[in-house]
C-alpha cells in the first residue's frame, strides 16, 4: 500500500546552515545489537503494574578500548524497556542514586501534569518518586528520559533514556516478538575524548553535540541477525541535537507503519525518513535470505550552500538475513483510525514562535505560565521557526494532528498522531490538539524545542489545562462559546 506523498519535497529539501556536520567513515559492524531487556514488573491485587527504575552511575564499554563513565537506569547505560497495555494502571518507583537532582519524564504519554516528570517534579539525590497513572492511549512507541531544569542535555547524553511501549487490544498483523522481529532501535550520536564519553565540549555549543560515533541501544557498530521475512524497527532518535535522514545503503523501500503517537492510518512506502531528536517511527523492512543492508543517515542539510553529500553519511545498523527466514505476516492495508481534529470547533488559536533561546513568551521561566488551555477544547497552534536554525517542537501530555506542514498538506508520514515535529528554518506548521482529562491549574506541562541544548537554554514554555471560569494567574479561562 503506497500513499501519495504530499509535500514530501518540502519535507526533505531544506537548505540551512548547521554547525559542521561530521564526516564519518566506514563502520565495522562487529557487535551484535544489544536489546534492552523488558523491565520486570509486578501486578498487585488492584491490578496496578509497578516498575522499579534506579538512576545510577557506572561504566560502559562504548567501543573505545576502555570503559567510560556513564549513567543509566538499572544499569550503567540506557534503561530497560517498559511495557504496558492501554487501560492498565501503572506505577513507577524511581530512585535517584546519582549525586545530582534529576527527573524522569514520560515522553509522549497522556497523563496528569503532576506525574509528567518535567522540571516541576525534581528527584533529589537519594530520594524516590513514584508517579502513577492509567495508560489511556493507542499502542505506541514512547520513551522516558530526565528533564531537569537546564540540565536535560547532560543527563540524557550520559545515558539516561529508555523506551516505553504501549500496547492496546487491537489485533494488527505486524511483527511483534520483542527482540526477534520487533526491535527497539534507540539511535544516539556520541563524541569521545580518547576513550571517555565527552560530555563537556560540544554539549554546550550552539545546537548541542554532534558526535562522530553512532550507538544503537548503546552498541557501537551493531549488526542484527534477522530470522524472519520482515522485521519491525522501532526507531527512536534519542540524540541531543542530530537530525537523521534514515535510508538503506541499497536504497530499498520500507514501510513506515507508526510515528510518535502510534500506528499511521495506513503503511507509507518510503526510502528515506527524517527524524529529529525525540521523534519515533516504526518501520517494517523486507529481508531476503542471506541479505546484508545497512541503515544509514545522510544529513538533510545544505551547509554553506553546498550539499554535504554522501561522504557525511553515518552508518548506523547492519541487518543480516539468515539463510532461511521464517514467514512474516503480510502488511495490513490499513492500520489505525486517522486523527480527527481537523473539523473540530477551534476554541483558541495560538501563535508560537521558536527563535534563539526563546519562545515568543521569552525565556523559559518555571514561575510563568505562558498558555492556559481550557479542558475539553481543541486548539490550533501555528508554530514558526523564526531564527533560521534547526528546531523542532514537542508538547507534553498530548498527541497533535498536523494540519499544514511548510505551507502544504502534511506528507503521508505526518498523517498520524505526533508529539514532536521538525520545523524547517523560517517555516511554520499548523497543529491541532485537544486538551482532555487532566485539568490542574497548579501543575504546568511543557512545550519546547527537543534539541536539548536549546531546551536547556530556555526555548521552552509552560501551559496548564484549566476548567472553564478558572483563574490562572492573570488569565481568566473563558467559558465555552458553544
> What is the Cα–Cα distance from 300 to 130, expressed in whole angstroms?
40
Closer by beta carbon to ligand C2O, 154 or else 313: 154
State which of positions 89-108 bind ligand C2O (CB under 6 A): 105, 107
> What is the Cα–Cα distance from 471 to 17, expressed in whole angstroms?
44
State which of positions 443-462 bind ligand C2O (CB under 6 A): 446, 448, 450
Closer by beta carbon to Cu ion, 73 or else 301: 301
Give the range of 87-95, 147-155, 301-309, 445-453 binding Cu ion by CB under 5 A. 445-453
> What is the Cα–Cα distance from 345 to 379, expressed in whole angstroms?
8
- 17 to 202, 299, 302, 386, 425: CA distances (angstroms): 17, 12, 6, 14, 9
State which of positions 123-162 bind ligand C2O (CB under 6 A): 145, 147
State the Cα angle at 25 between 19 and 27, rounded to 5°. Answer: 120
- For the chain, the distance separating the N- and C-terminal CA atoms, rounded to the nearest angstrom, is 40
Residue 449 binds which entry of ligand C2O, Cu ion, none, with Cβ cut-offs from 5 to 8 Å by kind?
Cu ion
Positive or negative: CA dihedral 238, 239, 241, 244: negative
State which of positions 92-121 bind Cu ion (CB under 5 A): none
> What is the Cα–Cα distance from 131 to 104, expressed in whole angstroms?
10
Segment (H or E) for 12: helix 8-12
Q: Which of 241, 220, 240, 205 has its CA nearest to residue 68?
A: 220
Binding mask 335-364 toward Cu ion (x if CB under 5 A, else -) reads ------------------------------
**φ, ψ at 459 (rounded to 5°):** -80, 70
Q: Which residue of this chain has its Cβ atom nearest to ligand C2O in the complex?
A: 107
Residue 120 binds which entry of Cu ion, ligand C2O, none, with Cβ cut-offs from 5 to 8 Å by kind?
none
Regarding 454 and contact with Cu ion (CB under 5 A), the answer is yes
Regarding 434 and contact with ligand C2O (CB under 6 A), the answer is no
Among 75, 148, 208, 278, binds ligand C2O (CB under 6 A): 278
Q: How many CA atoms lie within 13 A of 281 on its CB side?
A: 26
DSSP 409: P
Number of residues that bind Cu ion (CB under 5 A): 4
Binding mask 355-394 toward ligand C2O (x if CB under 6 A, else -) reads ---------------------------------------x
Q: What is the DSSP string of 49-86?
A: EEEEEEEEEEEE--SSSS-EEEEEESSSSB-PBEEEET
Binding mask 13-42 toward ligand C2O (x if CB under 6 A, else -) reads ------------------------------
Regarding 418 and contact with ligand C2O (CB under 6 A), the answer is no
Residue 147 binds which entry of ligand C2O, Cu ion, none, with Cβ cut-offs from 5 to 8 Å by kind?
ligand C2O
Beta bridge partner(s), residue 68? 60
Q: Minimum distance between the CB of residue 387 and Cu ion, rounded to whole angstroms?
A: 9
Q: Minimum distance between the CB of residue 448 and ligand C2O, rounded to whole angstroms?
A: 6
Closer by beta carbon to ligand C2O, 405 or else 447: 447
Residue 451 binds which entry of ligand C2O, Cu ion, none, with Cβ cut-offs from 5 to 8 Å by kind?
Cu ion
Closer by beta carbon to Cu ion, 388 or else 407: 388
Q: What share of the chain is helix, strand, coil (3-state, %, to 5)?
A: 5, 45, 50
Beta bridge partner(s), residue 435? 377
Number of residues that bind ligand C2O (CB under 6 A): 10
Among 396, 418, 432, 434, binds ligand C2O (CB under 6 A): 396
Closer by beta carbon to ligand C2O, 236 or else 325: 236
Give the range of 366-374, 417-425, 451-459, 473-481 binding Cu ion by CB under 5 A. 451-459
State which of positions 105-124 bind ligand C2O (CB under 6 A): 105, 107
Which residues, including other chains, have CB under 8 Å from residue 153's CB and lie 6 or more apart?
203, 208, 209, 240, 452, 453, 455, 456
Tell me the chain's radius of gyration from C-alpha atoms: 21
Q: Minimum distance between the CB of residue 396 and ligand C2O, rounded to whole angstroms?
A: 6
Which residues, including other chains, have CB under 8 Å from residue 414's CB and lie 6 or more apart?
11, 259, 402, 405, 421
Applying CB under 5 A, the residues found at the interface with Cu ion are 391, 449, 451, 454
Applying CB under 6 A, the residues found at the interface with ligand C2O are 105, 107, 145, 147, 278, 394, 396, 446, 448, 450
Amino acid at each position: 500500500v503506497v500513499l501519495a506523498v504530499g509535500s514530501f519535497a518540502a519535507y526533505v529539501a531544506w537548505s540551512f546552515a548547521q554547525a559542521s556536520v561530521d564526516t564519518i567513515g566506514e563502520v565495522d559492524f562487529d557487535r551484535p545489537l544489544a536489546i534492552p531487556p523488558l523491565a520486570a514488573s509486578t501486578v498487585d491485587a488492584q491490578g496496578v503494574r509497578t516498575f522499579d527504575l534506579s538512576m545510577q552511575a557506572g561504566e560502559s564499554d562504548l567501543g573505545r578500548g576502555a570503559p567510560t563513565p556513564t549513567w543509566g537506569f538499572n544499569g550503567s547505560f540506557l534503561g530497560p524497556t517498559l511495557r504496558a497495555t492501554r487501560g492498565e494502571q501503572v506505577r513507577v518507583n524511581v530512585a535517584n542514586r546519582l549525586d545530582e537532582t534529576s527527573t524522569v519524564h514520560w515522553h509522549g504519554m497522556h497523563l496528569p501534569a503532576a506525574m509528567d516528570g518535567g522540571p516541576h517534579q525534581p528527584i533529589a539525590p537519594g530520594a524516590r518518586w513514584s508517579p502513577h497513572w492509567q495508560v489511556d492511549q493507542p499502542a505506541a512507541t514512547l520513551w522516558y528520559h530526565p528533564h531537569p531544569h537546564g540540565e536535560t542535555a547532560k543527563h540524557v547524553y550520559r545515558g539516561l533514556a529508555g523506551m516505553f511501549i504501549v500496547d492496546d487490544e487491537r489485533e494488527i498483523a505486524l511483527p511483534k516478538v520483542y527482540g526477534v522481529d520487533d526491535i527497539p532501535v534507540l539511535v544516539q550520536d556520541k563524541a569521545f575524548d580518547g576513550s571517555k564519553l565527552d560530555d563537556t565540549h560540544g554539549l554546550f555549543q550552539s545546537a548541542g553535540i554532534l558526535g562522530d560515533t553512532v550507538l544503537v541501544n548503546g552498541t557501537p557498530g551493531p549488526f542484527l541477525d534477522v530470522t524472519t521475512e520482515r522485521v519491525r524497527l522501532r526507531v527512536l532518535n534519542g540524540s541531543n541535537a542530530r537530525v537523521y535522514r534514515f535510508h538503506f545503503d541499497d536504497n530499498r523501500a520500507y514501510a513506515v507503519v507508526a510515528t510518535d503517537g502510534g500506528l499511521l492510518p495506513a503503511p507509507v512506502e518510503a526510502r528515506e525518513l527524517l527524524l529529529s531528536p525525540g521523534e519515533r517511527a516504526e518501520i517494517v523492512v523486507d529481508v531476503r535470505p542471506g541479505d546484508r543492508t545497512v541503515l544509514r543517515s545522510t544529513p538533510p542539510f545544505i551547509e554553506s550552500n553546498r550539499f554535504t553529500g554522501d561522504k557525511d553519511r553515518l552508518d548506523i545498523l547492519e541487518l543480516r538475513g539468515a539463510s532461511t527466514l521464517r514467514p512474516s505476516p503480510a502488511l495490513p492495508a490499513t492500520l489505525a483510525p486517522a486523527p480527527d481534529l481537523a473539523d473540530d470547533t477551534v476554541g483558541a488559536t495560538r501563535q508560537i514562535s521558536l527563535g534563539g533561546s526563546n519562545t515568543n513568551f521569552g525565556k523559559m521561566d518555571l514561575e510563568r505560565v505562558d498558555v492556559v488551555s481550557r479542558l475539553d477544547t481543541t486548539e490550533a497552534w501555528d508554530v514558526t521557526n523564526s531564527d533560521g536554525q534547526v528546531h523542532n517542537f514537542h508538547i507534553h501530555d498530548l498527541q497533535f494532528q498536523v494540519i499544514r506542514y511548510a505551507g502544504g498538506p502534511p506528507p503521508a508520514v505526518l498523517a498520524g498522531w505526533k508529539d514532536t515535529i521538525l520545523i524547517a528554518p523560517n517555516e511554520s506548521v499548523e497543529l491541532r490538539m485537544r486538551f482532555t482529562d487532566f485539568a490542574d491549574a497548579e501543575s504546568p506541562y511543557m512545550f519546547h524545542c527537543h534539541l536539548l541544548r536549546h531546551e536547556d537554554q530556555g526555548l521552552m514554555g509552560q501551559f496548564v489545562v484549566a476548567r472553564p471560569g478558572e483563574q490562572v494567574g492573570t488569565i481568566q479561562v473563558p467559558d465555552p462559546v458553544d
